[in-house]
Amino acid sequence: MSPNRRMFARSTFAVLATVGLFATPGASAADAYPSRPVVLMVPYPAGGLSDAIARSLNTRLSKALGQPVVVENLGGVSGAMAAQKVLNAPADGYMIFLGSPNEVILAPLSNAAVKLRTEDFRLLTPVTVNRLVMVARPDLPVRNVDDVIALAKSNTAKPLTYGSVGPGSMYHLVTEDMATRTHIGVSHIPYKGMAPLVQDLAGKNVDFAILPYATTFRGLADQGRLKLVGWAGNSRSKVDPAIPAFGEGMQLKDFEQATWAGIMVRQGTPEAVVTRLHQALVVTLEDPQVASGLEATGAEVAKPSSVADAQRFLQAETGRFRAMAKRINLQPQ
């Protein structure tokens, strides 16, 4: 090799090494994830249960990832507005989603304008499980769910009103399923989130709702601003054993209802990023302070699952809720 060629080769090697083309095999941009803050998208306004769950997670998750995890709230369209924003963002793990059946399974079944599909998301792991409870305005003359059913049947000219976080939300479907089973008429009032709905219950502007239990409900009930009517199930919960269960009455046996929340990403997110996020979530959920913070919201901490098991769970839940929607003849509006 001539001196000029040797000099050219050395120069070329130096340039290639400088730009990293001689890096370790298999290295990619995903290996450096995250190199900037991560957004945790919450599909409801601040002050609700989803927001409380997110804020119980984000500090420890930030530490596990080595970058800030910033909570962003966006309500509307039964949570589908925030879900769509996640899908519109790059599939790079820098926008993750605190999702539930409401946004990723049910919203597309009830709203013709919602074009997202459950299959667009990948569930990394559930983080909480929440049993549902019926709550009512403080002056509704009822003590339990049987009283609610009797009251509805006694005045068919003026149906009881109930709230949910939007058409096609789980709480909408569950309440309509209850009405179908007990042959009562009810009138649906949709809200953008749980916080404004609870405010209207306390303000006596809506009669009742079936919602995931939050510890704030107990405080409002003790102040006489809300009535806790019953757990949607056969048994009471140790979270608040003073509340009777539906199954203790005569009208609604075997009406077990609970929801869950989990961290999701867009399908197509690189496997290295999925693995990094999942590892950080496992560490976060196993932290005793995180567990106590989640339990303080009224939620049960979900046991971390593998990514594969989480995806199978999401598929099973999709089948279950699609069957419920068919049973009550839910039509996209």
- What tokens does 202 get? 């306390």
Cβ burial, residue 239 (10 Å; 0-12/13-18/19+): middle
29-130+259-327 and 131-248: identical CATH topology = yes
pLDDT band at 193 (very low <50, low <70, confident <90, very high): confident
pLDDT band at 5 (very low <50, low <70, confident <90, very high): very low
- Candidates 169, 48, 188, 174; CA nearest to 101 is 169
Report the alpha-carbon distance of residue 37 to residue 177 in Å, rounded. Answer: 42
- Candidates 246, 207, 249; CA nearest to 226 is 207
Q: What is the pLDDT of residue 12?
A: 42
Q: What is the pLDDT of residue 164?
A: 94
Report the alpha-carbon distance of residue 239 to residue 296 in Å, rounded. Answer: 10
264 contact partners, CB below 8 Å, separation of at least 6: 86, 96, 97, 98, 99, 104, 121, 122, 123, 124
- Per the model's pLDDT, the better-predicted residue between 153 and 110 turns out to be 153
pTM reported for the whole predicted model:
0.78
Cβ burial, residue 2 (10 Å; 0-12/13-18/19+): exposed
What residues does each domain of the chain span? 29-130+259-327, 131-248
pLDDT tens, residue by residue, 234-267:
999 988 999 999 999 999 999 989 899 999 999 9
pLDDT band at 31 (very low <50, low <70, confident <90, very high): low
Residue 245 falls in which region: left (phi positive, over 0), alpha (psi -120 to 50) or beta = beta
Q: What is the pLDDT of residue 8?
A: 40
Superfamily of domain 29-130+259-327: Bordetella uptake gene, domain 1 (3.40.190.150)
Mean model confidence pLDDT for the chain: 89
- What tokens does 140 get? 């509704």
The topology under which CATH files domain 131-248 is D-Maltodextrin-Binding Protein; domain 2 (3.40.190)
94, 36 in Cβ contact below 8 A?
yes
117 contact partners, CB below 8 Å, separation of at least 6: 108
Overall average pLDDT of the 298-311 stretch: 93
Q: What is the pLDDT of residue 30?
A: 53
